Amino acid sequence: MAPSAQSTRDGKPASGNRQEFFQLLKKNATARDLKTIPADPDMKNIPPDIDSMLQLHSSTQLAVPRSKHTCITEKKFPFKPARKSDPLALWIGYFGDIPRWKKGQVVQFAAKAGGYPTPKHAIFAAYKLNMAAMEWNSLDIGVTFKWVTDIDDACFVLAYGGNQGDTLASAFFPNKKNLSTLFVYQLAFDERFSPYQHNYYLHELGHVLGLRHEFAFEEGGAVQFGPANEESVMNYNDYPPNIQESDIVSAKAFYNLKSPYEKLNIVDWYPDN
């Protein structure tokens, strides 16, 4: 396991005990609720029916009627005891600090098996997220993602969040939590969007790396880093979102940046996995 989360700003370990957290989680959640999709980071054991759906324009059978499966977890932590998820965050910084992971770290994730409309939805989403993780990993940004089976080994978990209107997914910034959540919502399984679900995860994993939206000046609490690009994966103009060369250059530079930047302290967290 990695060291406890720390900040390069003060070097003090974050509060909280990971072992105690998971003991409490397992005490309050059912085994069914804690069940995850078996990790397949190299994509070598994809079930044949899921493999066919992962192909572009081949996942229409996953469409979820708007009248069903709404608000299963919403924005609450997907296990008991419920906790709120983090807000979304190529700007950087979040109202006072610039959070990122310690360079060289591996951010591990698990994928919940339950809470989805069907088991196929859960497996499909897990593989789509892994496809996005593999793409980010191939770019050698300085931090990598790894799909794991056990919740205990994960920094974050992929979970279904029910109906959130026109929102496809939501993520979080690097932080000291024992377990964060990346939510995928009902609309992401609409036949118009499900073929591109991994593209939306490219965007969300950008947030997990610490990147803000390209239009973060409108949201506040951020400073610009790198050149603006309307087709950035962190924008909404390019559909579906794809990682641009400017994203690669800026993300690499971001993880080589020294603190402070624009009077904001950079906080390097060790992923708690």
Confidence of residue 85 (pLDDT cuts 50, 70, 90): very low
User: Tokens at residue 45, please?
Assistant: 């054991």
144 — phi, psi (to 5°)?
-120, 160
The answer on pLDDT for 153 being more than 50 is yes
Residue 264: DSSP 8-state = B
What's the distance, CA 157 to chain centroid?
Answer: 8
More confident of the two residues 267 and 222: 267
pLDDT for residue 30:
85
The C-alpha atoms of residue 38 and residue 213 are separated, in whole angstroms, by 32
In tens, the pLDDT along 179-213 reads 999 999 999 999 889 999 999 999 999 999 998 76
215 Cβ partners below 8 Å, 6+ apart? Answer: 235, 236
Considering the domain boundaries, does residue 255 fall inside one? yes
CATH at residue 41: 3.40.390.10
Residue with tokens 């572009």: 56
Amino acid present at 178: N
- What 3-state class would DSSP assign to 85? coil
Considering the domain boundaries, does residue 103 fall inside one? yes
Give, in order, the Cα–Cα distances in Å from 76 to each of 69, 73, 85. Answer: 16, 6, 6
Find, among 53, 59, 51, the residue nearest to 191 by Cα: 59
Q: Are 168 and 125 in contact (CB under 8 A)?
A: no
Q: How many domains does the chain have?
A: 1
Considering the domain boundaries, does residue 117 fall inside one? yes
Find, among 140, 139, 132, 112, the residue nearest to 34 by Cα: 112
What's the distance, CA 231 to chain centroid?
Answer: 20
Residue 130 lies in domain: 18-269
Q: Are 177 and 156 in contact (CB under 8 A)?
A: no
Considering the domain boundaries, does residue 8 fall inside one? no
In tens, the pLDDT along 239-252 reads 788 999 999 999 99
The answer on pLDDT for 219 being more than 60 is no
The answer on pLDDT for 11 being more than 60 is no
Considering the domain boundaries, does residue 109 fall inside one? yes
